[in-house]
Amino acid sequence: MVVQYLLVALVAFIASMDEQLFGITMLGRPLFTSLFVGLILGDVQQGVIVGAALESMFMGAIMVGAAVPPEVYASGVLGCAFAVITGTGTATAVALALPVSVFLQVWRNFCYAVPGAFACKKIETALANRDLAKANLYHLTIVPLSIGIPSALLVFCSLFFGADLINNALNAIPQFVMDGLNVASGVMVCIGFALLIRTMGDNKLLPWLFLGFIMVIYLKMDVIGVAAAAICVALLLAFREGSSGPQTVAADEEEDF
Amino acid sequence: MATQNTDLKEAKKDAIMSPDMYRSMFLRQFTSQCSQSYDKMMAMGFMYTIQKPLRKIYPNDDDYYAALDRHTEFFNITPHVLPFVAGLTVSMEEQAAADKNFDTSSINAMKVGLMGPLSGIGDSFYWGTFRVVAAGIGIGIASTGNPLGPIVYALIYSVINFATRIVAAHLGYDLGTKFLQQSEENNLMSRMTHAAGVLGMTVIGAMIAAQVSLSTALTFDVGGSEIVLQDLFDSIFPGLLPLLATFACVALYKKGVKTIWIIIGIFAICIIGTGLGVFAAA
């Protein structure tokens, strides 16, 4: 049994790094991983049925923009494995996958915040030292492993010690901490934008930022709509006849935000 | 003069983006989100993706590392459409290497400008359409326990996924080469840079409104009637808190505060604030 658990954990390990190492192939999602979980546990049919149910449940869980979606990879593997082992079907799988999914989502946010920032620092230092091999090694390991290893461990421990134990442990985390971490992941996105505003470094462009903001807030446009409108404005600016564009731009760039 | 330029560029094009360069970019772009972080997003992955072509463009170490450094700036996009921007970037870098007057800041301006629109398209196509269609078909077959379900799902999605990534890289590079030739003739480049800045800023504003979320749970008791502060915000200036949070970060960066402290601060403020009931749970 332990060998099977290890193999299931290995599936979770690879699946949980789909976004990082494989550029979102969508093959880490429950519908596909259930095939392997079923094979490992010796009941492909049941595995695939549970996988289909989990996939439907997670259908809405998508990654749009910078928001982090609920974790579907390791939690999908765990839910599926547990349902096949106990023979209790999809309801158990869903009930088990949800708390693990919420926890692993918070963990992912943490990985982007701390190991992610750490990885970027290390890469920049390596680049400054002109050590490209080291920079690339940091790039390919730090964040993927800090996501993959805990995900796989959680799956293995849940199977080995029983899911109740793990869920009780997860439930012991105070609700306000989990809520707070979720609130933080909503705010955290602004860091990237703040850096962008700082890098673009031109106060005279700020009205455009507010214009885009207002179009979404008051006119209820979505980002694609605003982008399309902004492309038109940008083209008008770029191709207007007889403008002294280059000079004004040169003057603009002197300003530091 | 113009024809001479064209010939030069044709020769260059063959030299830089050879099949092995496309292959290297194709394999590396899958790791674009490896060093995902809140302050750089997939910048490091982008830098990793275009290393081989950049090396070919800049044989000199100084120029090469300066170029790599350029591409460690914040970048975020639907990973599936990243090859398009990568191809376009390589064509611009090629131009920058050939033309000493080329303003390299326009390369990042172009990247920033494309982020929003391409992600908007990419997210809705790959996450919203292709995946949903593939999963829908797969679930239909799999729900009876047929192992073909997962396989059909994987095949449908993967064919689209891999094919479009290959095509996008070529498209970006060819478009960039063609466009830069034109813009050079009309001295368009600096006006384009300004226009790209306008595009980028507008889209950033829209993305702040759409993606940063923060709302308060505070209520006040005024003369016996309860006033919900967030309702007040919603009726006057709905996105006030996200906007304030963003510009608070800008101000902190201007003061030279390190990213890690801003991140820790946000975690601390959000957990404590949610515990005290200042912020509404997401």
- Among A125, A141, A217, the strongest candidate for a mutation testing the B interface, having the largest count of B CBs within 10 A, is A217
Helix (H) or strand (E) holding B227: strand B225-228
Indicate if the pLDDT at residue A181 is higher than 80: no
**What tokens appear for B225 in the block?**
């009637």
B223/chain A closest Cα distance in angstroms: 30
d(CA B46, CA A139) in angstroms, rounded, equals 11
Coil, helix or strand at residue B219? strand
Question: Nearest C-alpha of chain B: how many angstroms from A197?
Answer: 7
Bridge partners (DSSP) listed for residue B225? B222
Q: Determine how β-strand B225-228 pairs with β-strand B219-222.
A: antiparallel
Per-residue pLDDT of B101-145, as tens digits, reads 888 888 888 888 788 778 877 877 787 678 878 887 888 889 889
SS3 at position B63 = helix
Q: How far apart are CA B127 and CA B133, in angstroms?
A: 10
Half-sphere exposure of residue A109, counting CA atoms within 13 Å on the CB side? 27
Buried b (16+ CB within 10 A) or exposed e, B258-278: ebeebbeebbebbbebbeeee
Average pLDDT estimate for B255-275? 85
Distance from CA of B70 to the nearest CA of A (A): 11
- Mean pLDDT value of segment A196-200: 74
For chain B positions 55-114, those within 8 Å of chain A (CB to CB) are 61, 65, 68-69, 72-74, 76, 79-80, 105, 108-109, 112-113
State pLDDT tens for residues B22-58.
999 999 999 999 998 888 889 999 999 999 999 999 9
The per-residue pLDDT for range B48-93, each reduced to its tens digit, is 999 999 999 999 999 999 999 999 988 989 899 999 999 999 999 9
- Residue whose C-alpha is closest to residue A252's, from B105, B100, B114: B105
In this structure, how many other beta carbons lie within 10 angstroms of the beta carbon of residue A3? 8
Q: Do A231 and B199 touch (CB under 8 A)?
A: yes
d(CA B10, CA B21): 16
CB–CB of B183/B189 below 8 Å? yes
- Model pLDDT for residues B171-195, shown as the tens digit of each residue: 999 988 887 777 666 666 667 777 7
Window 15-44 of B: residues touching A by CB (8 A cutoff) are: 29-41, 43-44
Rounded CA separation A129/B56 (Å): 20
Out of B143, B154, B213, whose CB is closest to A49?
Answer: B143
Cβ of A194 within 8 Å of Cβ of B35? The answer is no
Q: Is the ipTM of this complex over 0.85?
A: no
**Length of chain B as a residue count:** 282
In a 3-state reduction of DSSP, which class is residue A173?
A: coil
Q: Which residues in chain A (94-123) have CB-CB distances under 8 A to chain B?
A: 111-114, 116-117, 119-120, 123
If one counts every other C-beta atom within 10 angstroms of the C-beta of residue B165, the result is 21
Interface test with A, best of B25, B31, B36 (most A CBs within 10 A): B36
* Residues of A with Cβ-Cβ distance to B74 under 8 angstroms: 192, 195-196, 199
Q: What angle do CA B44, B45, B47 make, to 5 degrees?
A: 65
Identify which of B269, B90, B205 has the alpha carbon closest to the alpha carbon of residue A197. Answer: B205
